[in-house]
Chain A
Amino acid sequence: MSSLDTVVGRTDSADVAEMVRAVHSRRLWRTIGVLAGVLVLAAWGLAAAAAPLVSPYGFDEQLVTESLQPPSPRHVFGTDDLGRDIFTRVLYGGRVTLLIGIGVVSVASAAGMAVGTVSGYVGGSVDEFIMRSSEVIMAFPSIILAMAIAVALGPGVLHAAFAMVLVWWPTYARLARGEVLNIRRMEYVDAEVAIGQRPWRILLRAIVPNIRASIIVLATVDLGSAIVTAAGLSFLGLGAVPPTPEWGAMVSAGRELPQAWWIAGFPGAAIFSTVLAFNFLGDAVRDYLDPRHRT
């Protein structure tokens, strides 16, 4: 579109055709992104679930004579310093990493939604207290606070996940509260109050169903960062404890051996591809459930 056309606001058929093409190409790229995301996630999910069937080795099986081998047909991702098959460990590690990420987001979003809904509906000092608490937790960078909590509790997958939930819920609570405040003013809620419906019933039947979509959107967009943080905690030695394979912990084990790039390379690529896939998927879910943000 030439600048003169923009100035007079005239659009001729060539411009329209170009705009349509642009929208189409954007949709096309987005569809490709979503498809790739779903494929990657399905591949990791299936491979992690079926790890014992896919791999001939055990995740802790040490083939001492075959340590530090580069990728080969026998060991597609190579082996580590203890002679363990990296491919096998990446598959088993996916179970831990994906479960922590998905588990933390599920628990935190459910808890945050419950807390936020009550906060917005009850109002008053309860609301004030909950909102101030969430603000304070959000004043800390999440990984620092999660680290402090995980150190207090001691290392371990469950402790790391618990630490993350404690840090993760406020975003959901604030979102849910905001939505409740909006919905409360709707006439159909007034109607429920007018016919003498009990508050809990109004909350569960009239309000919660209407805020679910926003929570699901945020949760999908959030999965990627939850997985990166979970892997980061394990990388720092606060998550999975050896010999449990976990992607972040595997990257950490490989950093001391730069000549054996495959030890850190493949688990890192696994995290990267998963997070990228979740982000693509999150954008698509947002477009679908929340058209206001459509770009």
Chain B
Amino acid sequence: MLRYIVRRVALSVPTLLGITLVTFLISRALPADLVLANLGDHAAQDPQLVAAFRQRWGLNRPAPVQYLIYVEHLLRGDLGTSIATERPVRTELALSLPATVELASSGMLAAVVIGGLLGVAAAVRSDTPIDLAVRSIMATGVAIPTFWYAILLLFVFYFVLGWAPGPGQLDAGLAPGPPITGMYVVDSLLEGNWPVFRNALAHLVLPAVVLGTVGVGFIARITRATVLDVLQREYVRTARAKGLAEARVVWRHAVRSALIPIITVIGILYAQLMSGTVLTESIFSWPGLGRYAFSSAGNLDFPAIMGVALVIGVFYVALNLVVDVLYAYINPRIRYE
């Protein structure tokens, strides 16, 4: 197992380098005016700042050298300076990452639980109205535009019914304690700060449901297909033949083996949820990476958006690594190939 992990980690290094190469190429080749794109209208007027910028990123050196300088900066955690706030992009990303992880993980949890249950129900009752209903939900979940759906839910549950709190992470009157993880729900739970915990949780529900819906269709589709497939296998027939209760056959024999394909799609799904956060967070005023990307795009804050792309790309590679290792752990055949 250890050998597999080492090999798999080594394999992600070229991908990581590739990611930096892509962000490097985008940031060097695409903007019409590189200095203007990175410094903004204001600073680009100042010859001293321009000279310092050129010096810092080695812009008068050959392109391969520029790339090495770029990677060297990245390794030191230097992602450039935001045009809009004039603060290091790294600091701003570090501040917004916890909120996104909190939101994306809750969305993921909602997607796996709801999608999994729907998928099992559809498979066990295939070709009945239940199946049809679940398949309609799946088709809707895949097709509905996140940004519109978010506005719709906010309109109905906050504006019309008043059941859900408005946008943001907490009500205006509440203040979170000193950050531990930076995630409000987790921190307030650890501190035993119940008013903040309840409020933060209530604020989390709607955006998590919006994000999760994208995944519900995805997870339900895969669960349905795998469980349906497994239910036709010989060992399920054997399980039934020895007189096991149907519930036990479904949950212990069929659903268990369906878990493997579900785990493999979780990596892809998490990436989808991270993309979904851009639109969801901007609507729910959720102070995470997504809203940061959104406001950076609005300000044409180029270094900031490249920072987000890089961080999410690296996150995605790391996540796939974890999924692959987990997969090898569950399914030993992979390890020995």
Contacts and interface: CB of A to CB of B under 8 A. Distances in A.
B154 A268 contact: no
A141 B279 CA distance: 13
Contacts of B19: 136, 139-140
A254 B272 CA distance: 25
B23 A232 contact: no
Nearest to B238: A7
Interface stretch (B24-32, B186-194, B253-261): B24-32
Interface string B198-218: 000000000000000000000
Contacts of B21: 136
B300 A264 contact: no
Contact of A151 (B126, B144, B149, B305): B305
B309 A232 contact: no
A149 B27 CA distance: 8
B143 A236 contact: no
B127 A26 contact: yes
A76 interface: no
A105 interface: no
A142 to B, nearest CB: 7
Interface in A1-31: 3, 6-7, 9, 22, 25-26, 29
B332 to A, nearest CB: 26
The CB with the most chain B CB atoms within 10 A, among A137, A147, A152, A265, is that of: A152
B309 A275 contact: no
A272 B144 contact: yes
A153 interface: yes
B127 A236 contact: no
A148 B246 contact: no
A107 interface: no
A204 B278 CA distance: 42
Contact of A276 (B132, B139, B275, B301): B139
A49 B217 CA distance: 32
B305 A148 contact: yes
Given A136-B15, A251-B151, A264-B151, A148 B23 contact: yes
A28 B183 CA distance: 49
A252 B147 CA distance: 8
Given A148-B306, A251-B147, A140 B312 contact: yes
Interface in B96-126: 126
A235 B246 contact: no
A268 B240 contact: no
A154 B302 CA distance: 10
A251 B123 CA distance: 36
B297 A228 contact: no
A218 interface: no
Contacts of A181: none
A95 to B, nearest CB: 18
Interface residues of B, number: 60
Interface in A227-265: 228, 231-232, 235-238, 248, 251-252, 254-255, 258-259, 261, 264-265
A102 interface: no
A261 B143 contact: no
A248 B146 CA distance: 11
B313 interface: yes
Contacts of B15: 135-136, 139
Given A25-B127, A139-B313, A144 B22 contact: no
B45 interface: no
A6 B27 contact: no
A237 B275 contact: no
B84 interface: no
A93 interface: no
A139 B18 contact: yes
A258 B317 contact: no
Contact of B272 (A141, A276, A280): A141
A279 B142 contact: yes
A265 B308 CA distance: 30
B240 A142 contact: no
B37 interface: yes
Interface in B1-59: 14-15, 18-19, 21-23, 26-27, 30-32, 37
B25 to A, nearest CB: 10
Nearest to B272: A141
A268 B275 contact: no
A137 B316 CA distance: 12
Given A6-B240, A268-B151, A152 B278 contact: no
Contact of B143 (A142, A144, A224): A224
A187 to B, nearest CB: 30
A237 B313 contact: no
B230 to A, nearest CB: 14
B297 A7 contact: no
B241 interface: yes
A147 B275 CA distance: 10
Nearest to B302: A151
B18 A236 contact: no
Given A136-B18, A255-B151, 8 more contacts: A141-B275, A148-B306, A152-B37, A232-B278, A236-B278, A251-B151, A252-B147, A267-B148
9 contacts: A26-B127, A144-B274, A144-B293, A147-B293, A152-B302, A236-B278, A236-B279, A259-B159, A295-B225
Interface of B: 14-15, 18-19, 21-23, 26-27, 30-32, 37, 126-127, 132, 139-140, 142-149, 151-152, 154-155, 159, 225, 237, 240-241, 246, 271-272, 274-275, 278-279, 282-283, 293-294, 296-298, 300-302, 305-306, 308-309, 312-313, 316-317
